[in-house]
Amino acid sequence: MRILLLSWLLFNSYFAAFFCISNLVLVSGRCQSDQKQLLLELNLSSNLNSTAFPTPLRRLMKWNQTTDCCSWDGVSCDAGGHVIGLDLSDRAISSPIDNSSSLFRLQHLQQLNLAFNRFEQVFPAGFDKLENLSYLNLSYAGFTGQIPIEISHLTRLVTLDLSIDRYSSPEESLKLEKPNLKMLVQNLTGLRFLYLDGINMSTTGNKWSQALSPLIKLQVLSMRACYLSGPIHSSLSKPRSLSIIRLDENILSGLVPQFFLEFPNLTTLLDANLSGFIPKTVEKMTQLALDLSQNQFNGTIGGLHVKASSLLDTLDLRSNKLQGQFPMFVFKLHGLTLLDLSSNNFSGLIPMSAFQNLRNLSYLDLSYNRLSIDAITTNISSLCLPKLTKLFLASCNLMEFPNFLKNQSSLIQLDLSNNQIHGEMPSWIWKTVYWGLLNLSGNFLVEFERPLNNINSSFIGLDLRGNQLEGQIPILPLGVIYLDFSNNKFNSVLPAHIGDSLRYASFVSISNNNIHGSIPPSLCNITYPRVLDLSNNSLSGPIPQCLFQMNVPNTVLNLRQNNLSGIISDTFSKSCELQILDLNQNRLEGKVPKSLENCKRMEVLDIGNNQINDSFPCHLKNIATLHVLILRSNKFNGHIDCPGNSSGWPMLQIFDLASNNFSGKLHLTCLGIWEAMQLNPDKDQSELVYIIIATYLNDVLRYEDTISVTIKSLELKLVKILPEFTSIDISCNNFEGPIPNVIGIFKALYALNFSHNAFSGPIPAFFGNLRQLGSVDLSSNSLHGEIPLQLANLNFLSFLNVSNNKQVGPTSTQLQSFSEASFENNAGLCGPPLMATCGLPPAKTDNPSDARSTVNWNYISAETGFCFGFGISITLLIFWKRWRKWYFERMDRALSWVFPCLPLETRKHGRRATRNQRRH
């Protein structure tokens, strides 16, 4: 998520000035009635709730239908009353433009500016009807998709700007495929200013410089983040008037082309990824500005001398790999107004007093080198130093606030971040009337110098994060846009009316402090809260309902790790624009609100580690933009299959349901459309995340997605989720049945945790095809069979756990590097690293107690049957006369047959036999 701040203001100032100047030379006549009617038919409605900045910073539509349309704001006419200039930039226009729009019937238009609006539609194809256009600016207007071939028919164009945010998501991007770059510009031979920043030209590849060869009049070329590649071809030498070349954030390579340095007017060569030494021919350049920033130049520049040193007013070498001692020759460039050597590897001690020779210097940036600045000399305040407006000394080994700053009343930007400044934040710093940006982050400030009652400064941005500030949070004057007090030791409640002083703030972070009490409802008075981060504090009580009703695009609401209670209010509006909602580690109860499905742009939803008691939130299945869903450690229950048709989550990267009461088989037919997990990236997996949180960088405000993922029983904080990182964690539930085969198509999956469930069946062999797997935990299930040999194909696998299952057979040789704990408690498993040896019967034990405790149930059952039958027979002989008679007769016959010589008398029994014997 990104917001343009100072660069946004400068950009608009440039175009405002352009139209002011152009209007001076236009002879405005009385508006033709048909022209007025066409303007009124435009019906370009504004949506001020969806603007990129609060209303006071925008230009509103002021068209009075009772007045001459040539006097309307943004409208310019020629002597005949025809509209020839239309500037509708930065008005939050949201209504779409179709091919039949009255805009395309303004046949006399020469200048059209629709920049900085919110059309949010596929690029319309009717611009070729405006054949008189010489100036067309559609930058940041919200158009998406393929740039139409009709633009190439505007052969009178001098300026063409189609730039978009270079960090745009795929659905918000513009592309040049058919037509490609060559087809777009081949007829635009009169172009002098071409801006195509952020447009996807990946199909153009390394042919982009050849495609520009027809533009021989080109003066300014800006193609930042366009997926360009390869070396710069010599065909780009044909536009001999080139003065500014911006190729930031591409993947170009090679040395700086010699022909660049032969351009007589070249002043700016930005981030072409050019390497090697800065050529000596640069000394012959007589331009007023030299900008070779954001390349890969290395070596030293100590011997570099610019021929027209007294004329040079800009020297910008930032973001290269230059090294050596600080180039002292710069102090002889008396005409310098801007000096930027930041983000290199220069070293040495710089006396601030040396800058008194640069009387015209207004912009100085020496940040992020290995320099030390001597800025606390006792008599430095008496020196006649230049009146600086922007000073950046980040990471310059400063121990104290420089003394000379007390007399720098013109400063509007000051960056002393990442130094070693201790003690108080001095009160004189508030005496500056206007601060564009004050950045003192990453120091050791402990308190504000008192009294702190009269802060008269006006701030756009104030960054005090990463210090040790304590006590009450100060209330700042109205107007601040960026405020970061995170990672300090503030230990107070939030003032009840804090939201009133932050009314125009876009970024507010007070995270990682000791703030307690409740969340003030006045925070809902912030008109444009792009980021509100109160995480990692001790806030308690319910969450104000109004915080869930914010309709600002790309909103981040981060309240994780507090003591908030109550429910998540079911008050998300139909126009919900939340992008990140993080409520993890609180004490929230109830259910997942139904209205949350209104947040169609949601990318991260983290409500883990609460007390939510609900079934699986199937109503969220239609949020197609979801990247992260974390429900872990709650009281969710039931099955997770959703009835009916749903679009699923094609962009899902992290799916975490661990430690709940989910049950049933894992059918998950919707898994087949989790496209983000099916990719097979060719990128190196050794670096999965990068960390940038809420920092100013080139006047761009950034807030990166921060979530927690559990891998290998460790909680990792991932900041800025890269497309390469995907994770599924459904551990500690009651899932059963086999592992679904659909998992086998997740070629981008990095971490999988199915442990502590009731999964059965074998471990599927398809795991061997998931080449990006780095962590697999299948422990504590009922999985049986042999461990598939295919697991040995996983080159990135650093964690494996299949313990507490029913695995059998030998462990694979390639898996023996894992610890014994990875395989233990599998009765039939053998081989290293386990102690059990494969191929031998179990060893006999000599322990008597063990022998006695061994029971052979085959013998027990036979003995039991014999005793039971014998008991029945004896009972019958005693109590049943007929059975007894029958039994003895049969026994006599059997004995007579076995022993024929036995006397008959002895074989008689019973009372009759006894009587006969007595008679004899």
**pLDDT 10s digits, 93-126:** 878 888 888 899 999 999 999 998 888 889 988 8
Mean pLDDT across 152-173: 83
Out of 796, 822, 838, pick the residue that ends a domain: 838
With respect to residue 740, please indicate whether it lies within any of the assigned structural domains.
yes
Sheet with 563-567, side-by-side order of all strands: 516-517, 538-541, 563-567, 587-589
Instruction: Give the chain's domain count.
Output: 2
Structure confidence by residue, pLDDT tens digits, 800-815: 999 999 988 877 766 7
Looking at the chain, the number of H-run helices and the number of E-run strands are: 9, 59
pLDDT at res. 878? 63
Tell me which of 49-63, 167-181, 347-361, 717-731 is least confident: 49-63
The residue among 371 and 902 whose pLDDT is bigger is 371
User: Length of the chain in residues, anyone?
Assistant: 920
Rounded distance between C-alpha atoms, residue 228 and residue 271, angstroms: 12
Quick check: 544 pLDDT over 50? yes
Reference 362, options 333, 381, 390; nearest CA is 390
Mean pLDDT, rounded, for 851-879: 56
Per residue in 643-662, pLDDT tens? 775 567 888 889 999 999 99
What pLDDT is attached to residue 850?
44
Query: At residue 543, does pLDDT exceed 90?
Result: yes
Does residue 762 fall inside a structural domain?
Answer: yes
Buried b (16+ CB within 10 A) or exposed e, 82-119: bbbbbbbbbbbbbeebeeebebbbbebbbbbbbbbbbb
**Nearest CA-CA partner of 738 in 769, 768, 778:** 778
CA distance 874 to 14: 117
The residue among 635 and 909 whose pLDDT is bigger is 635
289 against 745, higher pLDDT? 745
Within-domain flag for 186: yes
* DSSP, res 339: E
CB atoms within 10 A of CB 875: 11
Rounded Cα gap, residues 698 and 225, in angstroms: 15
Q: Which two tokens stand for residue 204?
A: 């153009």
Tokens of 667: 């059918």
pLDDT tens-place string over residues 734-793: 999 999 888 888 888 889 999 999 999 999 998 888 888 889 999 999 999 988 888 888
Burial class of 47 by CB neighbour count within 10 A (0 to 12, 13 to 18, 19+): middle
Residue 668 lies in a domain: yes
Strand partners, 664: 735
* SS3 of residue 566 by DSSP: strand
Tokens 């070498």 correspond to: 317
For the whole model, what pTM was predicted?
Answer: 0.70
Cβ atoms 162, 135 nearer than 8 A? no
User: Sorting pLDDT into bands at 50, 70 and 90, what band is 26?
Assistant: very low
Residues 6+ apart with CB under 8 A from 492: 471, 472, 473, 515, 516
Q: What is the mean pLDDT of the chain?
A: 79
Q: Which residues contact 507 (CB under 8 A, 6 or more apart)?
A: 3, 481, 482, 483, 484, 530, 531, 694, 701, 703
182-196, 473-487, 689-703, 850-864: lowest mean pLDDT where? 689-703
Is the pLDDT at 501 greater than 90? The verdict is no
Task: Name the least confident of 78-87, 238-247, 287-296.
Answer: 287-296
Task: Please check whether residue 880 lies inside any domain of the structure.
Answer: no
pLDDT at 209: 84
Alpha-carbon distance values, 45 to 95, 97, 109 (Å): 6, 11, 21
Confidence at residue 888, expressed as pLDDT on a 0 to 100 scale = 65
Quote the pLDDT of residue 691.
24
The reply to whether 200 falls in a domain is yes
**Residue type present at position 570:** D
The DSSP bridge partners found for residue 459 are 435
pLDDT band at 249 (very low <50, low <70, confident <90, very high): confident
With b for 16 or more beta-carbon neighbours within 10 A and e for fewer, the 896-910 pattern comes to: eeeeeeeeeeebeee
DSSP β-bridge partners for residue 252: 230
In this prediction, residue 508 carries a pLDDT of 93
342-392 pLDDT, tens per residue? 999 999 998 888 888 888 999 999 999 999 988 766 565 566 788 899 999
What's the token pair of residue 849? Answer: 């107690």
396 within domain boundaries: no
Domain stops at, among 838, 863, 878: 838
Q: Enumerate residues 6+ apart whose C-beta is below 8 A from 778.
A: 739, 754, 755, 759, 763, 801, 802, 805
**Which pLDDT score, from 0 to 100, does residue 204 have?**
77
DSSP tag of 60:
P
Q: Which one of 809, 838, 867 terminates a domain?
A: 838
CATH number of domain containing 829: 3.80.10.10
Q: Which residue has the higher pLDDT, 256 or 512?
A: 512
Q: How far apart are CA 130 and CA 146, in angstroms?
A: 19
Q: Is residue 139 part of a domain?
A: yes
pLDDT at residue 866, rounded to an integer: 57
Band of pLDDT at residue 902, cut at 50, 70 and 90 = very low
What average pLDDT does the segment 412-427 reach?
93
Query: What's the pLDDT tens digit per position in 311-345?
Result: 678 888 898 999 999 888 888 888 889 999 999 99
Query: Range of 182's domain?
Result: 107-273
Tokens of 843: 């060893």
Q: Looking at this protein, which amino acid is placed at residue 707?
A: I
**Rounded distance, CA 15 to CA 115, Å?**
10
